[in-house]
Structure 1
Amino acid sequence: MSEQDYSQSEMEKALSSVHEVKIGDVVKGEVLAIDDGQLVVGIQGTGVEGVVPLKELTSDRNANINDQAQVGDVLDLVVIASIGHDKENGSYLLSKRRLEARKVWTTIEDKFKADETLSVTVKEVVKGGLVADADGVRGFIPASMVADRYVDDLKKYVGETFEVKIIEIEPSENRLILSRKALVQQEKAEERKVLFEKLLPGDVVEGKVARLTNFGAFIDLGGADGLVHISEIAYERVDKPSDVLKVGEDVKVKVLSVDAEKGRISLSIKALLPGPWDKIAEVAPVGAAIDGKVKRLTTFGAFVEVAPGVEGLVHISQISHQHIATPNEVLKEGQDVKVKVLSVDPENRRLSLSIKALIEQPASEKKQESAAVPEEHYEIPEADTGFSFGEMIGDALKKNLDKDSDQ
């Protein structure tokens, strides 16, 4: 073989070893220079060059390109466009970021097929939901799929990292729809089961106010909500739970009852508070004259609040020296009055009071005590007053009953 033939043969071999560059090819590029915010690379095995802009190196727009690569580095890149027309010396636009994203998409697809969860970090709040990052791939979590209940402020999730379920995936359209709700529901179902197994009446636990209604407050105990009825919030009267509690507030509660079959938990806040009757003997000792407010009027007397959560009964016979048919003849609800303490029974929560004991009896009435004739019908008192029905209507009825029995 002549020298000319040998040279021609070697040239043909060299040319045959040069591969044609196509869009979508994964290639290796050696960094030849860093110029004007981009890398100039030689595509190995092709004899042509390409460029890699900073935005195709990393998703961090504020990154320094010199921190991303150095001259002599060999990078795995994907060809995304041709920016030259000379086949031998033409340039190509290459990307490291998109190649990494392609690998991530493959991983995500594999997780989707295997029904596995995906770890993401929330980046921002957009109209209708959250944008989350999954190793460089942008995913979307609709607002209705963020939690198992309505969330009015999605901003609190920004920066959080959590597991999500893949709902829909389409790499060619960069479409990735995710859901956190499904996992939250699953976790709560497991927590709920554990909670009902271990929770017992009498337990004292901590929770967070989840919702407020007109009849009480629902407390999140971690897996299930328990109800604090409005009557169990405080010893004093509560008109609206929102006057005392706030959503998101941490509270300590006592478990009153647990019904696993119906999924109900009854709780009490006031059971852990000092009882208003604990020191009532000091606040309202027998014989003392104290201030009070008329809370309720009945046919047999008036209930007067003398301390938060403590009401005493002023029997109709103890309201005035003059005979009255009903308490509302001389009293009205909300009226401030001064009362004398006749008897105190903290154990049974009974407090007997008198208004007339602090009023001087008219001289004309001292000689003749008016006998109050009880009405034929009496209002049944509430169960928590501490007074029996007979005590409510007074001794007058008892005397009449005794008189009838003797006849």
Structure 2
Amino acid sequence: MADNDLTKDLVVEDAPEAAEETVATAGSASENTAPESPAPEDPAPESPAMHEGDLTPEELEQAYEQSMKEIQEGEVAKGTIVAVENDYVVVDIGYKSEGQINIHEFRDADGVIKAEVGQQVDVLLERAEDEDGTIILSKEKAAKIKVWDEISRVYNDDGMIHGTIVGRVKGGMSVDIGVNAFLPGSQVDLRPVRNLDSLIGQDFDFKILKFNKKRANIVLSRRVLLEEEREEKKKKTLTVLEEGQVMQGVVKNITDYGVFVDLGGIDGLLHITDMSWGRVGHPSEMFNIGDEITVKVLNFDRDRERVSLGLKQLKEDPWLNASERYPVGTRINGRVVSLADYGAFVEVEEGIEGLIHVSEMSWTRKVRHPSKIVNVGDMVEAVVLSISPEQKRISLGMKQVEPNPWDVIAEKYPVGTTIEGRIKNITDFGLFIGIDEGIDGLVHISDISWTKRIKHPGEIYKKGDEVRAIVLNIDRENERFSLGIKQLEGDPWEEIPNKYRVGTRVNGVVTNVTDFGLFVELEEGVEGLVHVSEIAEDKIKTPVGMFNVDDVIEAKVVSVNRRERKIGLSMRRLDEEAERQVYSEYVNSTQAATSNLGALLKEGLAQKEDVENGNESDEDK
């Protein structure tokens, strides 16, 4: 017997004692009886002459003794229930011989008594008579003896026996085949079973590997039957298996890279890339173990018995006519399947995914990451911007579903319009003011004030402030909206050239001292620069240390540039002017003195001439 040869190395004694059902009483009682011997047939029917009314007491005694000779202790016989009492059931085993069976042997799992008068049962004669003269019978022990006979027959005939897995024991499972038997863990299935508890309560056919009636040990195998069945199916499958064939199979195992499908005694691999034209994150998303599926044989290596399977190949590649179904401009509804830094991938249909770039998600918002707009699993509406079936790419746009607000913004807010809005953000270079939904206008730092030197807009404004501004420019292509605050008032520099003419003396306060000169505030928002070369007549390297902030100085306007908003001042030229004035006064005074001296000389000469001529007057005298 081939199966027995394969299992000679199995040690029956290793079966757990907890899984054994001891039948010591029945075993010892029938130890002299071969387990393979069949149960005795029904007693011969009574002859017509053998009726109770026809027999004398002596004949009845002889008949009873004869029946006892035919049915020995430890033997199994058939009997008929003649009475059901509270504690026992009375069974007639022939020749008016009646015995008792404890009532508990007729109770089922729910405690219900399953015994009726007239019902035939197999019984074991445990004792011909006890001290009370009662014949003791057992229904349970008779059943176990019959089970052991059946076990012996199945084992010798290399057959199968049916049983129910009833529990876990060390090293395997306990199986009820009429008596408890041991099923090793390695013999449960073709592959290791992770959850043995899931098999409890299930019925299977088993092979008997070994049994020992004396010790009540039985070792079973389900794997042997499965291997035989698998080998038979494999032979049939190999006769019809070929590339391109469509077959039915059962999912046997699931891995990260695919699923193994039982095609009938031979396994094929359905790789994750051949499951769908679309995206599959993990095979478990599509299949469960035990699923029946239809697959196509892609490749078959008969020598190595390796089969590659495909599922998506049962359908046409959706990209073949995608350009016809999704021309540019088509609106589609799809599910977001994944996100990347640069955009979101949307499943248009199974096998076709399109990309919505972050720049195509909003007309007005600057989207840094697609998660700010959509999440995986969201259903979105989009427009086909371009399609390339050869490269299997579709570009989609979400913002194109709505009108572009920049198309009408110029009409709504023409240049020169005064608007009011709330400051949404403050940066080093300016203020962002909310104009319309999703549209912000920028007030550049240079357009905040005509005259103030602003280092940072935060010095004057804070986020949330309401401000007024004038529309300066709208750049639709670059989506830029330029505003100005200082333009709400006239430019004071329009009057500066007239107010501070070249040569005008001015007084101002030093606001900054640098190596190249002094910045002097002439009035609020109006500054002039005294270059280092215009500080003094003598050449100096730097005014730092010579002047301090808030010093009041006097200077002379030497230049005015309205376009560049610059005023040039000079302290040196102011000193030169003073020197020239002093010199002029000196020259003027010198000339006057010279003129007076000449007059005196002329007068003296005239008097001298008069004296010489005798014309001296009395006054001169």
Query: TM-score, normalised on structure 1?
Result: 0.61
Shift of the alpha carbon at 1:32? 5.9
Judged with a 3 Å threshold, the aligned counterparts in structure 2 of structure 1 residues 180 and 17 are, in CA distance, closer, same or farther, namely closer
Pick from 132, 136, 159 the counterpart of residue 93 of structure 1: 136
Matched, 1:276 2:276: no
What is the alpha-carbon distance in structure 1 between the residues aligned to residue 192 and residue 369 of structure 2?
45
Q: How does 1:1-400 map to 2 (within 5 A)?
A: 19=68, 23-26=73-76, 33-41=83-91, 50-56=99-105, 62-67=111-116, 69-70=117-118, 77-81=123-127, 84-85=130-131, 90-118=133-161, 120-122=162-164, 124-127=166-169, 129-134=172-177, 136-154=178-196, 157=199, 160-285=202-327, 307=348, 309-310=351-352, 340-341=385-386, 344=388, 346=389, 348=390
Which amino acid in the other structure matches residue 239 of structure 2? Answer: E
The answer to whether the Cα contact below 8 Å between 1:29 and 1:42 also exists between their aligned partners in 2 is: yes
Judged with a 3 Å threshold, the aligned counterparts in structure 2 of structure 1 residues 284 and 102 are, in CA distance, closer, same or farther, namely same
What is the alpha-carbon distance in structure 2 between the residues aligned to residue 104 and residue 306 of structure 1?
63
Which amino acid in the other structure matches residue 77 of structure 1? Answer: V
Secondary structure in 2 matching 1:237:
coil
Judged with a 3 Å threshold, the aligned counterparts in structure 2 of structure 1 residues 125 and 238 are, in CA distance, closer, same or farther, namely same
The answer to whether the Cα contact below 8 Å between 1:168 and 1:178 also exists between their aligned partners in 2 is: yes
Specify the alignment match of 1:328 in structure 2. none
What is the alpha-carbon distance in structure 2 between the residues aligned to residue 293 and residue 59 of structure 1?
58
Shift of the alpha carbon at 1:210? 1.9
Shift of the alpha carbon at 1:131? 4.4
List per-residue Cα deviations over 1:301-339 (Å, max 9, x = no partner). x998784644789xxxxx9xxxxxxxxxxx999999998
Shift of the alpha carbon at 1:113? 2.2
List per-residue Cα deviations over 1:13-50 (Å, max 9, x = no partner). 789858578642446767664322422356667x9864
List per-residue Cα deviations over 1:232-285 (Å, max 9, x = no partner). 122233332233333333332221111221121111122224533144214542
What is the alpha-carbon distance in structure 1 between the residues aligned to residue 318 and residue 183 of structure 2?
50
Deviates more, 1:33-42 or 1:267-276: 33-42
Which amino acid in the other structure matches residue 79 of structure 1? Answer: L
The answer to whether the Cα contact below 8 Å between 1:167 and 1:179 also exists between their aligned partners in 2 is: yes
Shift of the alpha carbon at 1:287? 7.3
The answer to whether the Cα contact below 8 Å between 1:208 and 1:251 also exists between their aligned partners in 2 is: yes
Identity of aligned residues (%): 29
The answer to whether the Cα contact below 8 Å between 1:303 and 1:311 also exists between their aligned partners in 2 is: no
What is the alpha-carbon distance in structure 1 between the residues aligned to residue 62 and residue 338 of structure 2?
110
Judged with a 3 Å threshold, the aligned counterparts in structure 2 of structure 1 residues 272 and 13 are, in CA distance, closer, same or farther, namely closer
What is the alpha-carbon distance in structure 1 between the residues aligned to residue 370 and residue 127 of structure 2?
85
Query: TM-score, normalised on structure 2?
Result: 0.42
Judged with a 3 Å threshold, the aligned counterparts in structure 2 of structure 1 residues 257 and 90 are, in CA distance, closer, same or farther, namely same
Shift of the alpha carbon at 1:57? 5.5
The answer to whether the Cα contact below 8 Å between 2:82 and 2:91 also exists between their aligned partners in 1 is: yes
What is the alpha-carbon distance in structure 1 between the residues aligned to residue 340 and residue 63 of structure 2?
106
What is the alpha-carbon distance in structure 2 between the residues aligned to residue 104 and residue 274 of structure 1?
59
The answer to whether the Cα contact below 8 Å between 1:122 and 1:130 also exists between their aligned partners in 2 is: no
The answer to whether the Cα contact below 8 Å between 2:174 and 2:182 also exists between their aligned partners in 1 is: yes
Shift of the alpha carbon at 1:288? 7.1
Secondary structure in 1 matching 2:214:
helix
What is the aligned residue count?
Answer: 324
Judged with a 3 Å threshold, the aligned counterparts in structure 2 of structure 1 residues 112 and 27 are, in CA distance, closer, same or farther, namely closer
Larger radius of gyration: 2
Bigger RCO (CA 8 Å, 6+ sep) = 1
Provide structure 1 residue ranges, at least 5 long, that are not aligned to the other structure.
1-8, 314-318, 320-330, 363-407
Judged with a 3 Å threshold, the aligned counterparts in structure 2 of structure 1 residues 236 and 132 are, in CA distance, closer, same or farther, namely same
Judged with a 3 Å threshold, the aligned counterparts in structure 2 of structure 1 residues 271 and 28 are, in CA distance, closer, same or farther, namely closer
Judged with a 3 Å threshold, the aligned counterparts in structure 2 of structure 1 residues 22 and 311 are, in CA distance, closer, same or farther, namely closer
What is the alpha-carbon distance in structure 1 between the residues aligned to residue 347 and residue 124 of structure 2?
83
Task: Quote the RMSD (CA, aligned, Å).
Answer: 4.9
What is the alpha-carbon distance in structure 2 between the residues aligned to residue 262 and residue 160 of structure 1?
35
